[in-house]
Chains A and B, each alone.
Chain A
């Protein structure tokens, strides 16, 4: 078989460039296989995050020919033949080295999601739910946290300043899972509007397009959340309905106070990342 040309981003926060590696093509390989062969051959110091190689750990996210993909799930034979395969790190997050980025932003936002707050249990101390009540949220449990939806979202990809006030698609599916849970008692809609930046999303659906688990992020999470926020903030008829029916969910403030992010030290307060030298491995 012919050779394949891999154009891989090499560099760190001091700068970087694409480096070309010409490797023999092997039938049935995925991009991650070729990256591993580069590590085993011409570039043993090439940094790349990976784990399961089965599309379930969400570690090997990168931008292949410009689009966010899992390296372990992108077959070489579906890429244009005869052209270099361009492999770059995720653009939205700060670079650590080569193909490895610092995705701490996502964990900072995850800590601000108010957790599940169930209602009082039934008399026998248990909860009962029907399958139809819970199946909507099960779609969102498929998320492998590859953060490619966060990476491709132009709200933070092209506008760094929005990171301070935008949770992103991955967190929105978590919000939707909690908001639509039949046992949950928190009302997170005001929090979504005021602090999580739901209104920043202009539903261009790139998150849905890149999701390796094929979660309908926009149609099943973001738009339903937007409609729920309309119920809470922009629809006088829905407001009147709530007043008449006396809905009794906990407020966004009460919910937000339960979020673990309210207790989490910031990066500045955390110890710096330990530096492990090559000789320490022994």
Chain B
């Protein structure tokens, strides 16, 4: 066996064949014996290995057209572009309003927009329950939501598919030409930063906790206390629930729970977690859209109540 400390790796193609399964297994593919002496190599890095040449070019069959599809392949990317544009434009506008993001005791409930939570900037002081704030931060607290949960969604494996297809047209549909002259995928800056998705996932969990606290606080009646439920309470609870489902169904979450494990039988807890997240992961797309829509709706609801367009209907 070769030493892993050796600076030079010298191998023949038959190395590693005879020791497979203690030479007991029959039927493993074996390189022809007469090739052995031809392939003695000296390699110190992966880059030293000579790549197997791939024959490029060759005439392709079929007509030279963008696609032969006649179905409505364009509907899905068009709908994606429309919906994402509306939500992103609305969220950006809402974040920079820096007002009407909180409904206080005057409206019988503490409701805060999910785009403005955690509200820890200077203008939150005195309006939102909880005294801790950053006194020098004068601009909108919504910038936090725009960067961290926004980054979590921007690097999400599902949204990547959606916007690569919808906005970048790479490709717009299956078997539809992407029309770009060059393509390097996610191997270079800035798209190589998509690999930071797991960090956004962990940071977004903090926001989930804060928004869950917001939802619980929305049950609280002002004054002498007590518990009540309004439509706004239900909106914030549904929003927090979908955010947790969105995080739990995330591909990075599935990997960190157990996807990186090779022997599940030796890691029963991680296997259990992996089995729990796997069916959620299969519905990641649906949860992603529902959650995104509800975040925008929750902000709109709080904004309308806070600006006095209507009052939050009390259920009990």
**Contact between A88 and B61 (Cβ–Cβ < 8 Å)?**
yes
**Quick check: A86 and B175 within 8 Å, CB to CB?**
no
Q: Cβ of B251 < 8 Å from any Cβ of A?
A: yes
> Is A94 within 8 A of B58, CB to CB?
yes
- How far apart are A4's CB and chain B's nearest CB, in angstroms? 16
Determine the residue in chain B with the shortest Cβ distance to A207: B174
On whether A88 and B68 interact (CB within 8 A), knowing A158-B180, A199-B185, A257-B41, the answer reads yes
Q: Please state if B46 and A253 are interface contacts (CB–CB under 8 Å).
A: yes
| B183 engages A162 (CB within 8 Å) | yes
Complex formed: what's the CA distance from A266 to B57 in Å?
15
**B43: CB under 8 A from chain A?**
yes
Contact of B195 among A80, A112, A125, A230 (CB under 8 A): A230
Q: Is B227 an interface residue (CB 8 A)?
A: no
| Interface assignment of B222: CB less than 8 Å from any CB of chain A | no
CB distance from B174 to the nearest CB of A (A): 4
Residue-wise interface mask of B (175-206) relative to A, using a CB-CB cutoff of 8 A (1 in contact, 0 not) = 10111101111110001100111100000000
Partner pick for A210 among B69, B170, B174, B186, CB 8 A cutoff: B174
B22 at interface by CB-CB < 8 Å: yes
Q: Is the CB of B255 within 8 A of A227?
A: yes
Q: Which of A19-27, A32-40, A61-69 sits within the interface?
A: A61-69
A258 contacts which of B16, B45, B187 (Cβ < 8 Å)? B16
Are the CB atoms of A260 and B198 closer together than 8 Å?
no
- CB < 8 Å A-B pair total: 254
A209 x B174 contact (CB < 8 A): yes
Chain B residue nearest to A184 (CB atoms) is B262
Choose the segment among A49-57, A188-196, A274-282 that binds chain B (4+ C-beta atoms closer than 8 Å): A188-196
A224 at the interface (CB under 8 A from B): yes
Is B61 a contact of A89 with CB atoms below 8 Å?
Answer: yes
Q: Roughly how many angstroms separate A214 CA and B51 CA in the complex, as a whole number?
A: 32
Chain A stretch 99-147: residues in CB contact (< 8 A) with chain B: 99, 101-102, 104-105, 108-109, 111-112, 115-118, 120-121, 125, 127, 129-130, 132-133
Q: A130 to B260: give the CA distance in the assembly, Å.
A: 17
Q: Which among B53, B58, B174, B183 is the interface contact of A102 at CB below 8 angstroms?
A: B58
Q: Is A16 an interface residue (CB 8 A)?
A: yes
Q: How large is the interface on B (under 10, 10 to 19, 20 to 34, 35 or more residues)?
A: 35 or more
Contact residues in B for A254 (Cβ distance below 8 Å): 2, 4, 9, 11
**Is there an interface contact between A203 and B49, defined as CB atoms closer than 8 Å?**
no
- Interface SS of chain A: helix, strand, loop or mixed? mixed
Cβ of B78 < 8 Å from any Cβ of A? no
Contact (Cβ within 8 A) B51 A195: yes
Q: Are B61 and A9 in contact (CB under 8 A)?
A: yes
Instruction: Find residues 15-63 in chain B having any chain A CB closer than 8 Å to their own CB.
Output: 15-16, 20-22, 24, 28-29, 31, 35, 38-39, 41, 43-47, 49-63
Q: Once the chains are docked, how many angstroms separate the CA of A118 from the CA of B195?
A: 30
Interface residues of A (CB under 8 A from B): 9, 11-16, 18, 63, 65-68, 80, 83, 86, 88-95, 98-99, 101-102, 104-105, 108-109, 111-112, 115-118, 120-121, 125, 127, 129-130, 132-133, 152, 154-155, 157-165, 179-182, 184, 190-191, 194-195, 197, 199-206, 209-210, 216, 219, 223-224, 226-231, 233-235, 250-254, 256-258, 260-264, 266-268
> What 7 A-B pairs come out closest when comparing CB atoms?
A94-B58, A66-B68, A66-B69, A95-B61, A200-B185, A89-B61, A206-B174
15 A-B pairs in the complex with CB atoms less than 8 angstroms apart: A9-B61, A16-B61, A67-B175, A90-B61, A104-B55, A121-B21, A133-B265, A158-B179, A160-B56, A163-B56, A164-B51, A204-B165, A227-B260, A266-B52, A267-B55
